[in-house]
Amino acid sequence: MKSNNKTNRCSKTRALLHRALSRSIGLDADWVRNHIAACPKCQRRFAAIGKVNLALSMIKSQPQKLNLLMRANRQAIGVLKHSLRQAPKAEKLRDAQPEPKLMDRCSKYSHSAANVAACAAILFLMKVGVFSSMGRFQSQGKEVVQQYYAAQAGQDLADEIFNA
């Protein structure tokens, strides 16, 4: 119990520190805004960061092909100096492809799996329904035949045949 309280205190303290630092050093701080307003070099840098953020948000909002990682890596490697472009790790990055998640790989089979599950459920329900109906028909048939023998041959003979 003590470690849980200590963890809660630590996380609250970290959150408070993060908020305080964000206010004093973050982009919302007055001195940062004043500097960016007066410094053309920082204005260009923040404009470039804004463009990158916009591009990333557009990439996230649109479905991409699986070779996006490979294309991005090739562009990034092309910017590096020659010795780094020829490094073995760069060759691996050049052809890197993301591994789709298991659910993404299996999503094309979801309709088939749902159909198989529905068929299995229908078969199960039919089997339960048929067997319960057959048992009822069998017991009703036995009663009818027993009544017939009782009427035709006598109750003693019918009891002897059906209770044996």
CA–centroid distance for 64 within its chain: 18
Contact 32, 26 (CB under 8 A): yes
pLDDT(11) > 70: yes
CA distance 49 to 26: 15
Tokens coding 68: 């996006």
CA distance 35 to 21: 18
Write down the domain spans for the chain: 1-62, 114-162
Tokens coding 11: 């996380």
Q: List, for residues 44-95, the tens digit of each pLDDT value.
A: 888 888 787 787 777 777 666 767 777 887 888 788 787 777 888 887 777 7
Lowest mean pLDDT among 20-24, 76-80, 84-88, 158-162: 20-24
Quick one: pLDDT at residue 111? 84
pLDDT band at 164 (very low <50, low <70, confident <90, very high): low
> Higher pLDDT residue, 23 or 125?
125
> Higher pLDDT residue, 30 or 124?
124
Lowest mean pLDDT among 32-41, 50-59, 146-155: 50-59
Quick one: pLDDT at residue 130? 67
pLDDT(2) > 60: no
Give the DSSP H or E segment for 44. helix 40-61
pLDDT(148) > 80: yes
> Higher pLDDT residue, 74 or 21?
74
How confident is the prediction for the chain on average, in pLDDT? Answer: 79
Contact 27, 33 (CB under 8 A): yes
Tell me the C-alpha to C-alpha distance, in Å, between residue 139 and each of 133, 134, 135, 142, 143: 10, 9, 6, 5, 6
Quick one: pLDDT at residue 53? 78
Three-class DSSP category at 64: coil
CA–centroid distance for 123 within its chain: 29
Quick one: pLDDT at residue 76? 81
Tokens coding 45: 């840098």
pLDDT(32) > 60: yes
